[in-house]
Structure formats: C-alpha cells, structure tokens
Chains A and B, each alone.
Chain A
C-alpha cells in the first residue's frame, strides 16, 4: 500500500478528514457552531450530517469525531433532551433530532448512557 493511503478509507470521506480543522476551522468548526447555535434547523442539519459521517465506516473520520469533546458533549445534550413543546409538529421534528443524536452516540460507542455516572 502506498504511504498515506489507508485501507479503512471508504469512498471520498478522506476529504472530510483533510478538511476537519481547515479552512475556517474546518468541518469540526462548522459542526460545533451549528450544534451550539440554539437554532433547531441548524442543529438538525449538523446532527444529520454527523450521522452520515459516523456511518461512513471511515475509521480516521470517526476517530476525529470521537476525539472532539465539544461536539460529543453537544450530541449528548441533544440526545438527552426532554420534549417540552405543546406543538405536535414541533415535537415530531424535535423527536427526530433527538433520535438522530441517540443514533450518533450509539455509533460512537456511547449510547444508552442516560443515567451513566462517570468516574
């Protein structure tokens, strides 16, 4: 195998690895800004994108996501979110984001940890 190529890389996901931190804080910066934005649509886009990246089977990329504490922390917050809205349509959207976030955590090997106590 040529240096620099890894057998784990599937499809074109190496470009997400190359652009993880740059330009302009890279994919990492974009995801963490959108997750922290407080905007439901932006969070939805970011969580959906994260799920695609975690399903990529690209170990390097999944490793980079797993090591991004800020991103993982925000995924956890969204996954543990309680439904508060009285509006059913909003609840549906919110419910979908929550379940996407839970699926992300499962793929990161951190699922089903709602009452998990660290330490």
Chain B
C-alpha cells in the first residue's frame, strides 16, 4: 500500500475507489505490530503528498496516533511518523490543529535526541511549516524552545540539517514581535559564522535571517 501511494496517478485512483482508505490506515497506525504501524504511517506519508489527503488525515483523527508513534522509542516508527507529519504540516489549515495536538515540544526534542539526520531534517522542517502562516504560530514555535535548540546544535549538525535550521530561523525572524526575542537569544552567534559555510544554501538562509532581523516594519520573505 505504501508503495502504491508513492505514485500520483495511483493516489488519484485510490481517492476515487477507496473512500475509507485514510481511516483504515489511521486505525492500522494503532496496530499491535510495530511493522504494521510503520508501514501504515509511511503509506499515510506518501498519500500526504496531496493536499486532499493532508486534510483528510487530520479529519480522520490521525494526529493523535501519529504523535504516539513520534514519541515512541523505536527509530523506524519515529522516522515514519515525523516524515508523515512533515507532509501533513505543509497545508496551512493544518498548522494550528497540529500545534494544538501537542506536537511542538516532541518535535523540538527530536532535534537533539538523535543523530539521525533524516529525523532531524523532518522535525525542523515541520516546525518551519507550522510557523509559516501566522505570527501566533511563529510565537508558539519559539516558545517551545525551537530556536534555543537550533542555536545549541546548528554548528555541529550535518549541512542538510543546518540548511533547514537556518531557514526556520529566517521564517521566525519575519515576525516583528519576535525579533527582539530572537536577538536576545543570541542567534547572531551562529548566524554570522554560518554566512561563511561551505554550503551556498546555508550561507543564503543565514543571511536571509540576518536580513529579516535587520528590518523593522516592512518585511520581505522573498529570500526564504
């Protein structure tokens, strides 16, 4: 099922012929077999490449079971759950429901609790998605400790994670209300050195964050 859902045409066909599919997969994420849970989460992740399914998984009460998988101690389960929530978080209408379901703190914890690059990338990218649409959500992501954790880890993590972390800081720096707080947290201590990164992406994201922090009033999100 997970493999079938990778393909966009298959997903369209599934949408037409299997109206109960999402509910069925959500139920399987609560199976007693970790293998089944994992495959169900991966199938949901692949389905959640489409907007329709991003909304449907939330409507089918999928967030609770996914949060339980994300907080488990079994790496493959964590990975499939965080990959899934990353896709679901792309839809602007899902930002607040995901935050209200209690994902912020566990996502921030995942940044530092593992050396698994993929998990770190999915976790920080989800946090950035959750912060995308509103100043209120940006503020909640900051309050959950995302920036402190990024600041603490960003100089040590692989370049792919650095790129996601600097992009996330740049997004948070778009909010006028948060600029002073971000500056007080000492983000300059990492952003300035990262403008010298060997990675063009990390350089650009760090500079975009510095740029957003330099502006009062009219802001630009063109570089993020």
Chain B residues, Cβ within 8 Å of A45:
204, 207-208, 211, 223
Which residues of A (20-69) have their CB < 8 Å from a CB of B? 23-27, 29-30, 33-34, 41-42, 44-46, 48-49, 52-53, 56
Which residues of B (172-224) have their CB < 8 Å from a CB of A? 179-180, 183, 188-189, 192-193, 195-196, 203-204, 207-208, 210-211, 214-216, 220, 223
Q: In the complex, what distance in Å separates the CA atom of A15 from the CA atom of B192?
A: 12
Output the nearest chain A residue to B210 by Cβ-Cβ distance. A49
Q: How large is the interface on B (under 10, 10 to 19, 20 to 34, 35 or more residues)?
A: 20 to 34
- B214 adjacent to A52 (CB under 8 Å): yes
Tell me if A118 is interfacial: C-beta within 8 Å of chain B. Answer: no
- A15 adjacent to B195 (CB under 8 Å): no
- B192 adjacent to A23 (CB under 8 Å): yes
Chain B residues, Cβ within 8 Å of A30:
192, 195-196, 207, 210
SS class of chain A's interface: helix, strand, loop or mixed?
A: helix
Chain A residues, Cβ within 8 Å of B193:
23-24
In-complex Cβ contact of B180 among A12, A26, A41, A46 (8 A):
A12
Q: In the complex, what distance in Å separates the CA atom of A42 from the CA atom of B202?
A: 12
A119 to chain B, nearest CB (A): 35
A-side interface residues, number (CB < 8 Å): 24
Tell me if A11 is interfacial: C-beta within 8 Å of chain B. Answer: yes
Chain B residues, Cβ within 8 Å of A56:
214, 216
B176 to chain A, nearest CB (A): 11
B20 to chain A, nearest CB (A): 47
In-complex Cβ contact of B220 among A27, A41, A42, A48 (8 A):
A48
Tell me if A113 is interfacial: C-beta within 8 Å of chain B. Answer: no
Output the nearest chain A residue to B186 by Cβ-Cβ distance. A15
Q: In the complex, what distance in Å separates the CA atom of A11 from the CA atom of B180?
A: 9
Chain B residues, Cβ within 8 Å of A11:
180, 216
- B195 adjacent to A16 (CB under 8 Å): no
Output the nearest chain B residue to A37 by Cβ-Cβ distance. B203
Tell me if A19 is interfacial: C-beta within 8 Å of chain B. Answer: yes
- A49 adjacent to B188 (CB under 8 Å): no
List residues of B whose CB falls within 8 A of some A CB. Answer: 179-180, 183, 188-189, 192-193, 195-196, 203-204, 207-208, 210-211, 214-216, 220, 223
